[in-house]
Structures are given as structure tokens and as C-alpha cells.
Amino acid sequence: MIEIRGGVELPALREDIELRTSDGLTLVGELALPVGRPPVATLVTLHPLPTAGGFMDSHILRKAANRLPAMADLAVLRFNTRGTKSARGTSDGEFGHGRDEVADVAAAMAFVEARGLPNVWLVGWSFGTELALKYGRDHGIVGAILLSPPLHRATAEEVAAWDSSSKRLVALIPELDDYLQPAEARERFASVRHIELVEVEGGKHLWVGENQTSRVLTEIVARVNPAALPLPEEWPESA
């Protein structure tokens, strides 16, 4: 048995993909699928701020792709938004300050629709939560999960618009976040009556360490495929 932690990569079908935006850009990414069975649900991940080092390999998103296809029967789509670079490659275009990225989110959603992937959730982290809040309601998602939302770009009106939506909204708020801590989060999300605010004691914006990683992945799976809980801590080496 191997211990599931750090950069452990569990079995999955991994495919390098390209997304085409409505304004003519090519975005690079990866789709990870369960081996030998269809996914129960799909995560479309939106990475942290690229001008501060965020990209599709930001550690929580990479670990979700490394683990959750095997552990929770989930499809995980990661991609670099416009102008963002990672080991996978560099997406066309330039950083759009959260405005032009509306087309990037749409391209990802068009891809999962074309592939027939089921029960789609957006999972945004930091800057990625702004994209989920601003543009997620326009697409055929079950809901959105926000990791460390800073609420720098999403307006109060865009947040409040989720109140009239049937789409679920879950926000993980680290106790020690650099930008938005629980007390302020309760105030600023008060306009969305059905939101699930999860206050993570001891949590920090970057979710560093296996304990915080495990907490985040568990909270995601609890909404998307709760039958897969509890997530295993070990995995057979031959699997």
C-alpha cells in the first residue's frame, strides 16, 4: 500500500486537451477520467491568479486531478486561462483581468458538454472563484465550489444574483485567510440565502499541507459524490 499524500498520482486516464475560445484563442489543459468506468460527476477547475503564480498545476487542483478520478469516480478538467503558462504549455492570449476570461470559462463548459461529461461543478480557487461567481450561472452546472474567495473582482450584484439561481453555491473560507476571513465572508455572502459557508479552522489561503489538502478534497467530494466518502488514506501499489 502507498500513503496518499503530496504528489502521489493515482490511476486515471489522462488526456492533454485544447480548448477553443470564441475570440479565437487556444487554451491548453488536461482531462483526467476514472479508469474502466464512467465518471459520476465532473469538476471544471479554475486556477488562482496567473500574475501571482496561479496556473492549472496549482497544488490543490493538481492533487484533485491526481487523486479524485480514482478515489471518487470524478472527471477533473484543468486548464490554463489565457496567457497562463505551465508544464503543459502556454495558453494563447494575455491575462484579461477577469473580464476576457468569460470566454475561457465558456470554452471549458463547451468542451465538457461536447464530451457528454455528467453533473458538472465549477471549482474555483482564489482568482478562479471570481470567474465562477461572475460567469458560472450562465452555464449548465450543478453548482460552484469556491476555495478561498477573495471577492476582489466579483461585484456585490454578481454575488447576489446567485440567490435567485437553483445552482448550488459552496464556499470554503479559511479562518486565517489573507483576503476574506469568516466574519466578513458571512456579511458579503449574506445576499445568497442558500449558500453553504464552510469555515475551516486553521485554514489558510493557499491550503498548504496534507491536512488542509485532505480537508478541501473531502469537502468537494461531500458535495459532488458523497457516496465516495470517506476518502482512503492508502492505495494498493498494484492498482
Per-residue model confidence as pLDDT tens digits over 4-52 = 999 999 999 999 999 999 999 999 999 999 999 999 999 999 999 999 9
Return the SS3 of 233.
coil
Of 136, 132, 113, 112, which Cα lies nearest the Cα of 124?
132
* Domains of the chain, start order: 2-135+201-235 (3.40.50.1820)
Number of alpha carbons in the 13 Å side-chain half-sphere of residue 75: 23
Q: What is the pLDDT along the chain (239 residues), one digit of tens a residue?
A: 999 999 999 999 999 999 999 999 999 999 999 999 999 999 999 999 999 999 999 999 999 999 999 999 999 999 999 999 999 999 999 999 999 999 999 999 999 999 999 999 999 999 999 999 999 999 999 999 999 999 999 999 999 999 999 999 999 999 999 999 999 999 999 999 999 999 999 999 999 999 999 999 999 999 999 999 999 999 998 75
pLDDT score, position 237: 86
Peptide bond into 230 cis (omega under 30): yes
Return the SS3 of 91.
coil
For 107, counting Cβ atoms within 10 Å of its Cβ (0-12 exposed, 13-18 middle, 19+ buried), the class is buried
CB–CB of 27/81 below 8 Å? yes
What is the reported pTM? 0.98
pLDDT score, position 122: 99
Return the SS3 of 219.
helix
Whole-number Cα distances in Å, 59 to 2, 37, 38, 110: 20, 26, 25, 25
Q: Residue 136 corresponds to which cell in the numbers above?
A: 458560472
* Residues 6+ positions from 114 with CB-CB distance below 8 Å: none
Return the SS3 of 19.
strand
Q: Residue 191 corresponds to which cell in the numbers above?
A: 445576499
pLDDT score, position 239: 57
Whole-number Cα distances in Å, 158 to 65, 131, 163, 165: 29, 11, 10, 12
Return the SS3 of 155.
coil
